Structure 1
Amino acid sequence: MESRQHPFNAAAFLSRNKISGARDKPGGDLEVTLNQVDNLLKGRTPARDVPMAAQFLVDFDILAARTALYGGDVTAVVTDLDNTARLLAPIHERAAAQLLVLAQALRRSAGILRLAPHQLPEQVILRLNGESGHLLRRLVTRAEHYKTGLWMRPMTPAARSPHEIVKHLQGNASDTCFAPDGRLLIVDNQRLLEVLDLAGGRPRQPFRLGAIEPTSLACDGTYAAIATRDGTIRIVELARGQRPPLVPSGPGAALAVAFVRPGILVSANTRGRLTSWDVAAGAEIGRIDIGDRTISALLPLDGDRILLGTDPETSTSPGHALQIWNLSAGRREATFGSHDWPVTALARAAEGGDAGSGGATGAAPDLVVAAANDQLSAWRLDDLSCAWRATREHVAFHSVRCLPGRAVVGDGIGALRLFDIHDGRELRRLAPHSGLIPAIASDPERRRLATVSYDQSVRVWDTSALEAAAPMRHQQEVTTLALTADRAHVLSAGKDGRVLTWDAETGEFEGELGGHAGWVSRIVPMPGAAAVSAGWDGMIRFWDLRQAGCSAAVRSDDPQLTQLAVTADGTSAVTAGAKGVIRIWDLVQRRVDSSGV
């Protein structure tokens, strides 16, 4: 059940692209064209010819056609790239480096492409997005033109996976929400509003919202409201189409919208203004100025009360960044929630249900959870006291939703983190996306969540898979094992990024030390109760087995570390990266001794 914006058709490539003239000439298939590259490299004007050859080899049309001709076997393509890069390096080092990056990306995707050659556009985007160099950027841009647009039917209770990709967007997701009838709405930075019928219906054409970037989305079942950077609120009547936008008076970007009841919308902007709207009439019905503080998040509480996430006030440090306002009375009821950073996401704890930790049960407390950069906090609504805080260095929390017993939080690298709603303990970490998760939508009636990401994918989750206690095993393939120096414990790590410990004699699970933001490529025991690991997040992490946690972390200049070796005395290490760089490390000083060989 798949469709594409621009279907990738191998036959069409071979009939119309740049190499079509070479197929029927003597020498067979692409030999004539490849000889042209060889001639360029041996030309008399290398300063002109070599860049031309590099551009030829990193042309997406040629790459796609060759992959199709070879039945998805990219071995010959990789060999040509390696050989050409070697010849090219003395003449044009930057272009040669880009050829090597492409060759390595194709090696990593070789197994997938043998099974599914049509996945080439997606593999190019996955492996090369974010790489520097004009040749690779051009290749990714061209691959985007042929990117898959998936449409899959929703999960059933018998689904093999707890989550499914239901859509690939044309742009990076900005926000998402569920309509009361179960339809899923997503808005992206391409100014498109998608409305997905997860009951299995075919998706309708997206609504085009105009030229201004959207920032936030809300839906009451009849209307969808989309806040934008210029302050206007775009309105879509789901049954009939777009209506005239709502235009607040005064300057400021609109960062948040929320329906407090059907047909009544509240918008908030960067100049501290709350505006209430009658959407059907298209008219402003109320306005509150809270002062010169940006309002980044809105959460309706009950009746006319609404919770605001703002910049922290400057009179105290850390300043209060949460406010409760009564919209009818036009007055502030409370200011609380100390943070150093703006509160950009809010969620209210799900009512009732399993407490979900340590076998304890009970009704969920009446809490709100706030995300502010690297910190989560939970606040009791009855007395506005802090229930717990959780801080994660080098992590930015962007979205949050609550399930019974759980707070589900999306971060800036595509991970979902599950926290115990009662005490803030992190229970579980999953890595479903490869880019920032700006929004999570909740559909409690149908027991599902939706997550959207800058990787342009939309995933739907069975909430029971997230409410359950984390299984005492890895969620994905195990990539490395190690026996500790005293031979009492086994360390394991996998593609899910988690580092676990086990009793070496009984095999019983002992605990989770922590994790990487990507695959763990290697974990090595150190003298004493210590270990060191390297991963595809480019990090080297040091583990203290007595304290059962990470004692330090060092970032490498390599985006992905694929190998790690440690000397017997634990003072030095060697790492290798996906780009072929080998580095020597002083583990005592926790710094690199050799920048690369």
Structure 2
Amino acid sequence: QAARREGAWGAWARGARVEAAAKVRQALEAADSPALRFLWWRLRRDALRWTALRNIPRAVARSPDGRHIAVGSGSGAIYLLDARTGGLVKVLRGHPEQILFLRYAFDGQLVSGDWRGQVRSWFPPRLLLERKLRYASGALIGAQLITATFGREVHVWRVPKTGRATLVKRLPESKNSYEIAVSPDGKLLAAAGIDKKARLWRLPEATPIAGALLHESAVRDVKWVSRERLLTTTVRGHVRVFAISRAPGAPETPLAPKLVLAFETGQAWPHAVVIARRQLVATSGRRGRIALWSLRDGKRVAWLDRRSNAPSAGLMASPDGTRLYGSDRDRGVRAFDIRAPIRGQRWRPHARMLTNAAFSADGKRIATTSYDKTVRIWSAARGEVQHVLELPAGARVVSFSPDGQRIIAGARDGRIRVWRIGESRVRSFGGHEQDVMALGVARDRSVFVSGGRDRKLLLWRFDGAGGVRATNLGKHDRRVFSLAISRDKRLIASGGVGGTVRLWPLPAASAKAAPTASRVVLRGGTAAYGLDFTPAGELAISLTSREVLLLDPRRAGATPRRLGRFAGRTYSLQLDPDGKRLALPGSDHVLRLMRLADGKTRALYGHRDEINVARFDDRGRVVVSVSDDSTVRLWDAQSGAPKWFGAGLLGSPPRLLSHHGWRTLSPHGAGETAEPGRAFAAAFDGARGAVRTFDQGSGAAGALCVVRRDG
């Protein structure tokens, strides 16, 4: 309605989407409705999508003064955007085909080339070239124009004051160059070629510098870090930095380049932009993900955008190094603010849904696994990520060693990984042929059992060399979803597809051969997702029929007692150390704490998607839960109040945001509440002023408000 009042809706319907987007943005910023303000905050929280262009962006360039961003589209139009607000300044028309390159000269002149072979300069508009060539890149240096052409050499042209450019020189050794770049002082030219070489020439004579820069694959991009450093990227995602020193006594004569840094990005065909003031380089590949890398050691600093799968059409940085601009092929132009302190990968929360969690024996650490193929170690007190382990195959389940110094992770490739926290080495142990989907751990963490898609059950014990050794127990009926070890370490329970639950005797450490005898204690038509033993030896079972049962496996033919039936499926369960309460994570986004004595439950609200796992610490004081909403949450086990949660909700790159404890905020002053039983969470991001309310009794999440900087 606000957009309609501003007259933007009709413009949108007529197809003027750029102008309409600017008006819609202004209307949202000025709206009085809290819902519209919240919508605008959601749109901006990761990256500011400025405008929806009518055509896919093909190239992007920044003016030398940093005031404008030029975006070339597939229709041949060039959009000039305000670099601060993203508003449309002007549309430059003249190209009949899609834009292939855009480049600002040092004097602020803009040069562009299209698919049909036209090269134009602007301010004022002028046609420089019109040939049946496809220009991949170009640069204008005073009266000299340099172009790179698909399938041809790099050409050097003279640009008169009037009329079209005339050819001066061909550089025959530069055939099939994707990209060219001119050094900041305008005295060196670099070209990237598909012959796995990058070459250098001295300007303005365009004389080659001896020695091509060899690469392992075709060179995709070249960028100057400084007057004496050149960065190259290859189609396979390799990045190299070369130092180009000057001859003693002859500063105009460059010597042969020397490789000073090399690293891999894991991105195919990456674009690159250098942020020299921060010693960073940003890359974006075919999948659209934008990553920041340090030019000091080649390590990845952060991800800026992992949401879009659209390939990038170009990247640019502001002159002061505070913003990054990117155009992608989902018809969007995005701006990223990188002024916030950039934290490394180890500080980022999980990027995808979480699958498992575990406490250390002292309760000071929490380990979590996720579909982003990482295992993260959290501080239970502060809610901060301390360590990150990246596994190529990913991990579904995790546990700590008895001393809390090692992590045991069951991977999707069927192997068990053992990692001493903080070390680079990860030990791998085989045994399973397919995914490890379940891990049953003894209370003292001295022994654990694994199972998964191959139906095999393996019993693991720690050896004296810091590894583990396996004993094959046999096979379950079908895929294994859940495992548990009794508190006296005599029995193992296994459950999975089909609802069959089996009991296995746990062999002694000195036993040479594992017993294969097992017996069925429950058969059903639904899968058994969760298992745990009470101190008395009873077995708690959660089924996909949304029921939770309690069964005495020591009595043959015993009928299970139903503890409850819930609105959502319970994917796992765990009893507290005293065996008096059950933690039941639900697919209905609710975490329930149930008392076994009377079956009463407390519902804890806060997650926005299915909860996969909930775990008590060894003292039974706190509960950790992980969810498909990519968050980790810690709860007080007695009151049910949330203690902290970590989620990548705001910022570019997404920062780890943790909310700690309870604090009363109200118009009546500290210590008072406007409504009985209502308390407010502390602001979890001071830079944005975001505050979420919670119900102190149930923990239910309430409204989210965003306080502007002006109050």
The whole-number CA distance in structure 2 between the counterparts of 1:393 and 1:193 is 32
The whole-number CA distance in structure 1 between the counterparts of 2:79 and 2:191 is 27
Are 2:131 and 1:227 aligned? no
Match of 1:177 in 2: 61
Match of 1:408 in 2: 282
Match of 1:46 in 2: none
Normalised TM-score (structure 1): 0.55
SS at match of 1:150: helix
Matches within 5 A, 1:122-521: 150-151=21-22, 152=25, 161=45, 163-181=47-65, 182-200=67-85, 202-204=87-89, 206-220=91-105, 222-233=108-119, 235-238=120-123, 240=124, 242-247=125-130, 252-261=133-142, 264-270=144-150, 271-278=152-159, 280-281=161-162, 282-284=164-166, 286-291=168-173, 293-301=175-183, 302-312=185-195, 319=196, 321-349=197-225, 366-373=228-235, 374-382=237-245, 384-393=257-266, 395-403=268-276, 404-430=278-304, 431=306, 433-445=308-320, 447-465=322-340, 468-470=342-344, 472-474=346-348, 479-480=353-354, 482-483=356-357, 490-492=366-368, 497=372, 499=374, 501-502=376-377, 509-514=385-390
The whole-number CA distance in structure 2 between the counterparts of 1:338 and 1:515 is 32
Structure showing greater Rg: 2
Q: CA deviation at 1:196?
A: 0.8
Match of 1:525 in 2: 398
Q: CA deviation at 1:194?
A: 0.6
Match of 2:544 in 1: none
Cα contact 2:273–2:317 (8 A) shared by 1: no
What is the letter of the counterpart of residue 203 of structure 2? L
What is the letter of the counterpart of residue 101 of structure 2? S
Cα contact 2:302–2:342 (8 A) shared by 1: no
The whole-number CA distance in structure 2 between the counterparts of 1:544 and 1:347 is 41
The whole-number CA distance in structure 1 between the counterparts of 2:419 and 2:158 is 56
Normalised TM-score (structure 2): 0.47
Indicate how the Cα distance of structure 1 residues 424 and 199 shifts in structure 2: closer, same or farther if over 3 A, else same. Answer: closer
The whole-number CA distance in structure 2 between the counterparts of 1:161 and 1:433 is 15
- 1:257-295 Cα offsets, whole Å, 9 max, x none, are 12334x543211121222234274332262222336211
The whole-number CA distance in structure 2 between the counterparts of 1:470 and 1:223 is 38
SS at match of 1:469: coil
Cα contact 2:436–2:453 (8 A) shared by 1: no
The whole-number CA distance in structure 2 between the counterparts of 1:542 and 1:177 is 49
Match of 2:636 in 1: none
Runs of 5+ unmatched residues, structure 2: 30-40, 246-255, 401-405, 429-434, 440-448, 456-477, 481-711
What is the letter of the counterpart of residue 240 of structure 2? S
The whole-number CA distance in structure 2 between the counterparts of 1:542 and 1:399 is 38
SS at match of 2:339: helix
- 1:350-390 Cα offsets, whole Å, 9 max, x none, are 69xxxxxxxxxxxxxx4322111221111112252212222
- 1:71-124 Cα offsets, whole Å, 9 max, x none, are xxxxxxxxxxxxxxxxxxxxxxxxxxxxxxxxxxxxxxxxxxxxxxxxxxxxxx
Cα contact 1:479–1:494 (8 A) shared by 2: yes
The whole-number CA distance in structure 2 between the counterparts of 1:421 and 1:541 is 35
The whole-number CA distance in structure 2 between the counterparts of 1:500 and 1:311 is 38
Cα contact 1:168–1:456 (8 A) shared by 2: yes
Q: CA deviation at 1:502?
A: 1.3
Cα contact 1:5–1:147 (8 A) shared by 2: no
Identity %, equivalent residues: 12
Cα contact 2:436–2:451 (8 A) shared by 1: no
Match of 2:652 in 1: none
Indicate how the Cα distance of structure 1 residues 484 and 232 shifts in structure 2: closer, same or farther if over 3 A, else same. Answer: same
Match of 2:514 in 1: none
Cα contact 1:196–1:203 (8 A) shared by 2: yes
Indicate how the Cα distance of structure 1 residues 477 and 372 shifts in structure 2: closer, same or farther if over 3 A, else same. Answer: closer
What is the letter of the counterpart of residue 378 of structure 1? V
Runs of 5+ unmatched residues, structure 1: 10-143, 313-318, 352-365, 553-562, 575-582, 586-597
Q: CA deviation at 1:515?
A: 8.4
Indicate how the Cα distance of structure 1 residues 393 and 305 shifts in structure 2: closer, same or farther if over 3 A, else same. Answer: closer
Indicate how the Cα distance of structure 1 residues 309 and 434 shifts in structure 2: closer, same or farther if over 3 A, else same. Answer: same
The whole-number CA distance in structure 2 between the counterparts of 1:237 and 1:452 is 21
The whole-number CA distance in structure 2 between the counterparts of 1:543 and 1:6 is 58
Indicate how the Cα distance of structure 1 residues 162 and 405 shifts in structure 2: closer, same or farther if over 3 A, else same. Answer: farther
The whole-number CA distance in structure 1 between the counterparts of 2:323 and 2:62 is 10
In proportion to residue count, which structure has more helix? 1
Number of aligned residue pairs: give it: 394
SS at match of 1:7: helix
In proportion to residue count, which structure has more strand? 2
- 1:234-262 Cα offsets, whole Å, 9 max, x none, are x1424x5x4224135xx64211112334x
Cα contact 2:18–2:88 (8 A) shared by 1: no
Q: CA deviation at 1:437?
A: 1.5
What is the letter of the counterpart of residue 232 of structure 2? A
The whole-number CA distance in structure 2 between the counterparts of 1:201 and 1:474 is 28
The whole-number CA distance in structure 1 between the counterparts of 2:203 and 2:359 is 63
SS at match of 1:170: coil
SS at match of 2:288: coil
What is the letter of the counterpart of residue 21 of structure 2? L
CA RMSD of aligned residues (A): 4.5
Indicate how the Cα distance of structure 1 residues 244 and 286 shifts in structure 2: closer, same or farther if over 3 A, else same. Answer: same
Cα contact 2:200–2:209 (8 A) shared by 1: yes
Indicate how the Cα distance of structure 1 residues 199 and 476 shifts in structure 2: closer, same or farther if over 3 A, else same. Answer: same
